[in-house]
Chains A and B, each alone.
Chain A
């Protein structure tokens, strides 16, 4: 699993959660919340979809790592790799 592939997984989830948003210009190093309308329930959606679709658990204390696409990739890529993906 590359970090780019990991970012794409997160982007696909966000596309379902925020279907009205244009995601084409999202900056990977900027907080998602600063670039689009995402509230706390939306972040819970990301956590839930990672669990449902990929079997990945994100403990509440780690939600901070889902702030940007880059931080998502840094945090999630080892988790995907640990699952052999």
Chain B
């Protein structure tokens, strides 16, 4: 008899995106075509555009907590509280050493380091003016650690560095830890404070991969012929995951079930994607989920609106879903919120989960002139699509150094 891993379900969601601070607000704006990109001042670079979150940080933090912690920590605390509330769990009665926190991050620490270098530049670079908060703010586990402090969680709390694939990895890792019995309840997902570092903007600009557009809300336009790069965004999305038996025992609301996943590596380039490995990642996730390509009803693409990257992902998707998948719909969420980096995968999945209930697929917006090289079957463009069935959602998130992740969530059925 083969080993049957525990079934893992999503029971709570807390998020902040550039166009919404709750799942319902986010979803409403995805269906209404409302983008959340706006003008944003960046140190040394002037006025650019970015996806900025407008959650209320004082809802769950003191002003001192905000001053001492990081932006990523604050976003994480907000999302964790919202997810916990949404889960309906009686947290006071929960043994806190059986709770885990697993957050994906693209990077962490650049914001504080840049701030401190700027601050000591006002003192002739004398390092005696360097903040004593620098190390606790820049350690890679900071966002997860700030949640553990805020909620009194004494189980494992750490981040997973996985470039822009990180949001998916937070969920995947949490599912694995629940299956191993390491924890009984997990906060997981991804977070990003990237817009507060000039380095990421300057880096993408030097790569020729930073989006520009006279209208910020049109700037993120995957699959459009006129796309010219990435809109950098901040954000966070944290899920609560539980083993199915535990969720059923407490009568929890279930958003969906983790069906399968895959993480692999291109091993081919620092920044250029590898469609062959991406397709392999998707195929392995399908095998892991015991599903065929035709069983997937929504594919949320990673596409970031770089000229080459979108074409290569479309090549990978065409290879897997190009034949015999008439009910597979393909969309993109970055067209609304830009690229939320470590939060991207987690946020984009959340935006699609309500489709299990409303049977509507939100579109890729800002496609005025579809690039023929991105014209894959099933693309949902500019207008939401009502569909007959949504039983499985496949979420792609890829990142630099060739890390690929695919996560499949299916409709929960007892």
| A residues in contact (CB < 8 Å) with B | 17-20, 37, 41, 44-45, 48, 51-52
Contacts and interface: CB of A to CB of B under 8 A. Distances in A.
Interface in B80-133: 123, 128-129, 131-133
B68 interface: yes
Nearest to A44: B132
Contacts of B133: 41
Contacts of A48: 129, 131-132
B63 interface: yes
A18 B132 contact: no
B67 A19 contact: yes
B62 interface: yes
Nearest to B62: A20
B64 interface: yes
A62 B237 CA distance: 46
Among B62, B64, B68, B129, find the residue whose CB has the most chain A CB atoms closer than 10 A: B64
Nearest to B128: A51
Nearest to B123: A52
Contacts of B62: 19-20
A41 B133 CA distance: 8
A18 B62 CA distance: 10
B328 to A, nearest CB: 52
Given A18-B64, A19-B63, A20-B63, A52 B129 contact: yes
Nearest to A57: B128
Contacts of B132: 41, 44-45, 48
Interface in B120-149: 123, 128-129, 131-133
23 contacts: A17-B64, A17-B67, A18-B64, A19-B62, A19-B63, A19-B64, A19-B67, A20-B62, A20-B63, A20-B64, A37-B64, A41-B68, A41-B132, A41-B133, A44-B132, A45-B132, A48-B129, A48-B131, A48-B132, A51-B128, A51-B129, A52-B123, A52-B129
B150 to A, nearest CB: 15
Interface of B: 62-64, 67-68, 123, 128-129, 131-133
Secondary structure at the A interface, as helix, strand, loop or mixed, is helix
Contacts of A17: 64, 67
A7 B134 CA distance: 28
Contacts of A20: 62-64
Contacts of A52: 123, 129
A51 B128 CA distance: 9
Nearest to B65: A20
Nearest to A18: B64
Given A20-B63, A41-B68, A44-B132, 9 more contacts: A17-B64, A17-B67, A18-B64, A19-B64, A19-B67, A20-B64, A41-B132, A48-B131, A48-B132
B283 to A, nearest CB: 50
Nearest to A47: B132
A4 to B, nearest CB: 26
A45 B68 CA distance: 10
Nearest to B131: A48
B70 to A, nearest CB: 14
A1 B105 CA distance: 50
Contacts of B63: 19-20
Contacts of B128: 51
Lowest 10 CB-CB distances: which A-B pairs, in order?
Answer: A19-B63, A20-B62, A44-B132, A20-B63, A20-B64, A18-B64, A19-B64, A52-B129, A41-B132, A19-B67
Contacts of A41: 68, 132-133
Nearest to B67: A19
Contacts of B129: 48, 51-52
Contacts of A18: 64
A84 B211 CA distance: 53
A53 to B, nearest CB: 11
A12 to B, nearest CB: 15
A76 to B, nearest CB: 18
Nearest to A20: B62
B160 to A, nearest CB: 27
Contacts of A51: 128-129
A17 B64 CA distance: 7
A43 B67 CA distance: 15
A11 to B, nearest CB: 16
A15 B362 CA distance: 48
A48 B132 CA distance: 9
A45 B67 CA distance: 11
A41 to B, nearest CB: 6
Contacts of B131: 48
A56 B129 CA distance: 12
Nearest to B119: A52
